[in-house]
Amino acid sequence: MRTRLIRTSACAGWVLAAAVMATLGGCAAGPNPRDPLEPFNRKVSEFNQGVDSIVLKPAAIVYKNATPPLVRTGVSNFFGNLRDFWSFVNSTLQFKLQDAVESLARFQVNTMFGLGGIIDVASELNIERHKEDFGQTLGRWGVPPGPYLVLPFLGPSTMRDTLALPVDYQGDLLRKVTPSAPRDALYVLRAIDARANLLRIGGVIDEAALDKYSFTRDAYLQKRQAEIFENKHDDDKDGAEPKDGEIPPLPDDGPAKAPAAGQPQPVPAR
């Protein structure tokens, strides 16, 4: 059910985005060149926040109160371990061989010695986690992020990362779980686990932001850029201020963490 939901919502995002683009037609981009669909995106953000406050956040709170921390850590580790395998594939596609070796080692060690990924033995052994998804791989290959896009249910993304979602979905090991009932339960558990991990952050964005939408967008695009070009820092420019009158260059890249398909990008905690 989750699967279908994700698929539908990703599709809906596309259709809607295309429709909005068509109506905007030639009429110039909004004030922010990276976010020509701002009015549409703001509506979707509001919608996502509504969904979060009615469904996801309450579910995450119940889950957090009902399960001991050790169980929750095990659940996070289990999903993280499945993710490590997809990170291995994507690191390989990006020719980040060191990272690929480490991700594969993590996956093997945790699957074999960590009870199928429930115990994160690899981190105890100081094997670092490198999160990679197909959107990052495309970015590494030189595909530009395109306009910022807020997807229904999934949250912040970009055109490129939305295009990458179906591939991430194919590479999601949870998809291989055959009877659909336990698989869908796992999808739901993953969403709740991800949201529960954000509860601690609480209302940080609410407190820090003057405009939550712009704050999320600007942070997200920067973070995504940093994830893709993690080793290519520009010491002369990163975080330096723009020259007088120059419009600050927007990060050349999209969103934080294109969610692995099936894993909703939780709306920022409140």
Burial grade of 69 (CB within 10 A; 0-12, 13-18, 19 or more) = exposed
Q: Does 39 bind other proteins (CB under 8 A)?
A: no
Q: Does 124 bind other proteins (CB under 8 A)?
A: no
Query: Which CB atom, from 183 or from 257, has the smaller least distance to other proteins?
Result: 257
Q: How far is the CB of 129 from other proteins (least distance, A)?
A: 6
Which range touches other proteins (CB under 8 A), out of 11-19, 54-62, 159-167, 202-210? 202-210
Q: Which of 4, 176, 200, 232 binds other proteins (CB under 8 A)?
A: 200
Q: Does 210 bind other proteins (CB under 8 A)?
A: yes
Q: Does 235 bind other proteins (CB under 8 A)?
A: yes
Contact 220, 156 (CB under 8 A): yes
Q: Which of 56, 168, 218, 258 binds other proteins (CB under 8 A)?
A: 218
Spatial separation of the C-alpha atoms in residues 44 and 48, rounded to whole Å: 6
Q: Which of 50, 58, 116, 203 binds other proteins (CB under 8 A)?
A: 203
CA 87 vs CA 96, 171, 172, 212: distances in Å: 11, 10, 10, 30
Q: Does 41 bind other proteins (CB under 8 A)?
A: no
Q: Does 157 bind other proteins (CB under 8 A)?
A: no
Strand, helix or coil for residue 178: coil
Total residue length of the chain: 270
Q: Does 23 bind other proteins (CB under 8 A)?
A: no
Query: Which CB atom, from 3 or from 32, has the smaller least distance to other proteins?
Result: 32
The site for other proteins, by CB under 8 A, has a size of 32
Q: Does 61 bind other proteins (CB under 8 A)?
A: no
Query: Which CB atom, from 153 or from 220, has the smaller least distance to other proteins?
Result: 220
Q: Count the Cβ atoms, other than its own, within 10 Å of residue 229.
A: 17
Q: How far is the CB of 22 from other proteins (least distance, A)?
A: 26
Spatial separation of the C-alpha atoms in residues 257 and 264, rounded to whole Å: 11
Q: Does 182 bind other proteins (CB under 8 A)?
A: no
Q: Does 26 bind other proteins (CB under 8 A)?
A: no
Spatial separation of the C-alpha atoms in residues 48 and 39, rounded to whole Å: 14
Q: Does 125 bind other proteins (CB under 8 A)?
A: no
Spatial separation of the C-alpha atoms in residues 94 and 231, rounded to whole Å: 12
Segments in 114-257 forming alpha helices (H): 121-124, 134-140, 159-170, 180-199, 204-208, 212-228
Q: Does 77 bind other proteins (CB under 8 A)?
A: no
Contact 37, 217 (CB under 8 A): no
Query: Which CB atom, from 152 or from 255, has the smaller least distance to other proteins?
Result: 255
Q: Does 207 bind other proteins (CB under 8 A)?
A: yes
DSSP 11-55: HHHHHHHHHHHHHHTTSPP-SSTT-TTHHHHHHHHHHHHHHIIII
Give the footprint of other proteins on this chain (CB under 8 A): 32, 129, 200, 202-204, 207-211, 214-215, 218-219, 222-223, 225-227, 230, 233, 235-236, 238-241, 244-245, 248, 251
